[in-house]
């Protein structure tokens, strides 16, 4: 059955390479070889187990089996159920022996992206770790934005500190000069006291 004529397809859940195309408005599933999808040696499947039909814009699965069919988790037995794109169809469902289960995903071709488009949507540009590690802190980046390099910024800070020290020294004077001035004042006071004492002594002797 040519894939380009298919309007829908069944994709095996256990093997996604197992794809069955649906091109007719009625697609039959069962054990008899005459079915579109046949399981001749599986006795868990009825001879004419179920069939998929397309009616105008609606799609249905009709069960005609003994054990029933599951459509997206809901058991359908001897009745018709609406079938939608992406529904999971369990032709055989055994809760306690999952190895015997037979299940397919129903897909409408018109709602399925081509493989090339699907791969394109999964492409992305990974973040390079080296770029994150080598990025500079925000503080340095802001300085660069102002047109200064980090070295120039450091030189500017050192110049400001030196100027501040110079301003303080201008106001209070050099430390050595202060010490010398204090020493001179003390010496003058001592000399004054000595002269005065000598004067008083000479007066008392007279």
pLDDT tens-place string over residues 60-112: 999 999 999 999 999 999 999 999 999 999 999 998 888 999 999 999 999 98
Q: Is 120 exposed, middle or buried (0-12, 13-18, 19+ CB in 10 A)?
A: exposed
CA 22 – CA 11 distance, rounded (Å): 11
Q: What percent of the chain has pLDDT over 70?
A: 54
Predicted TM-score (pTM) of the model is: 0.54
Whether residue 59 is predicted with pLDDT greater than 90 in this model: the reply is yes
pLDDT for residue 134: 45
Give the chain's end-to-end CA distance (angstroms, integer): 152
pLDDT for residue 64: 96
pLDDT band per the 50, 70, 90 thresholds, residue 128:
very low
Quick count: other Cβ atoms within 10 Å of Cβ 4? 7
Structure tokens at 87: 């529904």
pLDDT band per the 50, 70, 90 thresholds, residue 190:
confident
Half-sphere exposure of 48 (CA within 13 A, CB side): 9
Quick count: other Cβ atoms within 10 Å of Cβ 164? 10
Q: What is the DSSP string of 55-90?
A: ETTEEEEEE-SSS-EEETTEEE-SSEEE--TT-EEE
pLDDT band per the 50, 70, 90 thresholds, residue 7:
very high
């Amino acid at each position: 059955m040519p894939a380009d004529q298919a309007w829908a397809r069944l994709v095996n859940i256990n093997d996604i390479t197992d794809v069955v195309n649906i091109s007719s408005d009625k697609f039959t599933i069962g054990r008899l070889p005459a079915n579109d999808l046949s399981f001749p040696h599986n006795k868990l499947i009825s001879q004419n187990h179920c069939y998929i039909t397309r009616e105008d814009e609606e799609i249905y699965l009709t069960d005609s089996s003994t054990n029933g069919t599951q459509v997206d988790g809901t058991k359908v037995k001897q009745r018709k159920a609406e079938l939608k794109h992406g529904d999971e169809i369990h032709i055989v469902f055994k809760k306690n022996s999952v190895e015997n289960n037979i299940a397919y995903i129903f897909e409408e071709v018109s709602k399925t992206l081509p493989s090339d488009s699907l791969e394109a949507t999964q492409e992305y540009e990974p973040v390079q770790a080296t770029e994150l590690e080598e990025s500079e802190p925000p503080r340095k980046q802001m300085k660069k934005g102002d047109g200064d390099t980090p070295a120039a910024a450091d030189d500017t800070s050192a110049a400001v500190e030196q100027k501040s020290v110079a301003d303080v020294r201008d106001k209070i004077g050099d430390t050595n000069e202060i010490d010398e001035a204090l020493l001179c004042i003390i010496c003058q006071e001592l000399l004054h006291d000595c002269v005065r004492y000598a004067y008083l002594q000479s007066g008392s002797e007279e």
